Chain A
Amino acid sequence: MLTWGSKFIFGISFGSFVGAMVMGLVTGGDPVGAISMGYKGGVGDHIAYGTLVAIGFAMFVLGVVTTISRDGDAEELAARTGVATLSAVTPPVYPSYWAPLTAFGVVALIIGLALNKAFMALGIAALAIVALEWCIQAWADSATGDSEVNEVMRQRLISPLELPLLSTLGIAAVVLGVSRVLLAVSVAGSVIVVSVAAAVVFAVVVLLSKIDVDRRVVSGLVALLAVAVLAGGIIGAAAGERDFHQPVEAGEH
């Protein structure tokens, strides 16, 4: 029957539905409307009522899932799946960058849909690469019981594609982001921006080659670059391009 955890969640669901009805009544709704979810009569404040009803349905779904999974109880799940004991959850040994890269792709896609088709293409490309990489990683993570062997297998399979794909993506992201900024600022400003950007890239690369940097620091720098590219792209694309004056050749009037 119902487990302890699911009873708690069903209780939240029930409380949300009751809360929605009370909220509907105290904010000027009709009793029939509050019960029938607005089918006949008003529900009072729509946002409060709608959000509470949504929470009620959501918690109901979660309660059903919790009941089916028996609150994650290892003994019951083992009995249901026909094994003596459940294996422990295996935490990932190597860091995975696919979730942040997915976020980058989604944000680039949204910016692209609103402002610029080039960003949309960048977002689609990033998401396609992530889908491929994540599938390979998921397969490799459970290929054998040895995480080192798994990583070697993943690299053997995907490295010939990974380096060129991610390099192309990185170059495209930087070019797109910086070019939007260069097109938005003045002629003198664009010279300053590109000089500073080039100097920063040069300094960081020299620094990374000279000292033994933790991989997490490199990841942080790459994430910072991704955010900077997106921010530059948004600002540049929203500001629009500056006016370009074509030089008039002598004799043409």
Chain B
Amino acid sequence: MSDISIREILPENVAGAAPSRPRLLVIGTALASVAVMVGFGSLLSLYVRTRALWIATGDNGPWLPRGVTIPLTQPNMMAMTLVLSLVTVLWAVASMKNDDRANTYVAVGLSLLFGFAYIAQTGYLLTLMGLPIAGDAAGRAPLFYAAIGTHLAITGAAMAYLAIMGIRSLGGNYSAKDVEGLYGAAMFWFVMVTMYFALWYAIYITK
């Protein structure tokens, strides 16, 4: 039986990989985060402007269609969930800086769990709101769903980023000397949570 292993393809004197230049991933993530912030901020501005014009006209009735209410319990719980996730994301980075891999995996897993919890709560909130996309609310509902849906997409991207960095940590790519991937994922996670608070204020609080 032949022994097929990775050693067979490695030449005798293969050079080791040069250490990667620091901060590249963090700078890339910062640029992506900035783009996300400006894009999402503009979307929320559009929402607020449309709402202000609707109210200023006076003849259109209330901004929220008849029978639609936005409860505050779920948005506040979502905010608390995301605040908790900030702690676990920082825990992941700090434990990797201490080469404590077991705690890193637990912290990454918990952060992803909080992310899933946020998405599930958003789904429940949308069900409670029961805002029809057509009919009487056709001029307003797409804006609600666009803003909330965009934030869900940002959350999905943040979760994917963190999950991939978790897998790379599991594969040994990161250690106390190189925490760059987890730094980047944590930065994007913070941006995602900050964006939620903008959404929370613009849509759920001021309605």
Contacts and interface: CB of A to CB of B under 8 A. Distances in A.
A129 to B, nearest CB: 13
A46 B52 CA distance: 8
Interface string B14-45: 11111111111011001101110110111011
Nearest to A89: B21
Contacts of A142: 17, 20, 173
A95 interface: no
Interface stretch (B4-12, B87-95, B99-107): B4-12
Interface stretch (B78-86, B116-124, B163-171): B163-171
B42 A86 contact: no
B16 A145 contact: yes
A51 B187 CA distance: 22
Interface in A134-177: 134-135, 138-139, 142-146, 149, 152-153, 156-157
Nearest to A110: B153
Contact of A54 (B15, B18, B19, B40): B40
Contacts, number: 115
Most chain B CB within a 10 A radius of its CB, from A45, A65, A72, A86 = A65
A87 interface: yes
Contacts of A45: 49
Nearest to A54: B41
Contacts of B187: 65
B41 A135 contact: no
A61 B193 CA distance: 14
B46 interface: yes
B31 A149 contact: no
Contacts of B27: 65, 69, 72
A139 B21 contact: no
A57 B37 CA distance: 8
A51 B45 contact: yes
Given A46-B45, A50-B41, A62-B31, A144 B10 contact: yes
A10 interface: no
A58 B37 contact: yes
Contact residues on B (Cβ < 8 Å of other chain), bracket: 35 or more
B49 A47 contact: yes
Nearest to B46: A47
Contacts of A49: 45
B107 to A, nearest CB: 20
B167 A46 contact: no
Contacts of A69: 23, 26-27
Contact of B15 (A38, A47, A90, A145): A145
A98 to B, nearest CB: 12
A81 interface: yes
Contacts of B10: 144, 149, 153
Contacts of B191: 61
B64 interface: no
B48 interface: yes
B21 A61 contact: no
Nearest to B42: A51
A77 interface: yes
A144 B30 contact: no
B128 interface: no
Given A61-B34, A146-B11, 11 more contacts: A46-B45, A54-B38, A54-B40, A61-B37, A62-B34, A69-B23, A86-B22, A134-B164, A142-B17, A146-B14, A149-B9
6 closest cross-chain pairs (CB), A and B:
A54-B41, A50-B45, A145-B15, A46-B49, A65-B30, A58-B34
Interface of B: 6, 9-11, 14-24, 26-27, 30-31, 33-35, 37-38, 40-42, 44-46, 48-49, 52, 160, 164, 167-168, 171, 173, 187, 191
